[in-house]
């Protein structure tokens, strides 16, 4: 996946000032640079996996109101509204930019129903999925309880952010 963020090595990440760290990693969690800002105190990171775990734990251990804002910061899938470059690339990869008018209307209706029930948008790591997978997932997850869906949304955010970190951070070429 291509995005507007240039790749960095883990050594470069570990050498960043807090401002550079937040500028580079602040978009990993949708419209929530506070996650990177709070995770910075754990530098240096031994691996991309450890960095990801620290970021996830930072988000998940925040106050419930902060987590709800994180969940609500995600765009509806297949929205015609402007989304972040990372979200746009992920949705295009799943073919959501090629929906027929009927498919768009179905997904819009499902998104509306989901939002009314859970009070945050449907969140799904769409990489490797197609539009049918996405429509099936939202249809199935509408049957979840509020607690089940809150947890599933956080799991999906974990998948999304892992993909984004793997795209952003390249393995140091000097290490074997």
Known catalytic residues are 74
As given in the structure block, the two tokens for residue 117 are 């029930």
As given in the structure block, the two tokens for residue 80 are 């015609």
> What kind and span of H or E run contains 66?
helix 64-72
Phi, psi of 110 (to 5 degrees): -65, -40
Phi, psi of 8 (to 5 degrees): -135, 160
User: How far apart are the two ends of the chain, measured CA to CA in Å?
Assistant: 25
Confirm if 29 and 36 have CB atoms less than 8 A apart.
yes
Confirm if 161 and 155 have CB atoms less than 8 A apart.
no
């Amino acid at each position: 996946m291509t995005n507007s963020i240039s790749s960095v090595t883990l050594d470069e990440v570990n050498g960043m000032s807090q401002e550079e760290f937040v500028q580079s990693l602040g978009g990993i969690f949708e419209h929530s640079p506070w996650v990177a800002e709070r995770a910075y105190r754990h530098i240096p990171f031994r691996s991309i996996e450890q960095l990801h775990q620290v970021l996830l734990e930072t988000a998940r251990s925040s106050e419930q109101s902060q987590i709800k804002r994180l969940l609500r910061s995600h765009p509806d899938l297949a929205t015609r509204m402007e989304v972040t470059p990372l979200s746009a690339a992920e949705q295009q990869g799943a073919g959501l930019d090629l929906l027929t008018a009927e498919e768009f209307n179905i997904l819009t209706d499902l998104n509306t129903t989901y939002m009314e029930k859970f009070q945050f948008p449907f969140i799904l790591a769409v990489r490797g999925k197609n539009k049918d997978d996405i429509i099936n997932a939202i249809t199935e997850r509408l049957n979840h309880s509020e607690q089940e869906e809150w947890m599933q949304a956080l799991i999906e955010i974990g998948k999304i952010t892992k993909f984004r970190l793997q795209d952003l951070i390249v393995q140091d070429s000097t290490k074997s």
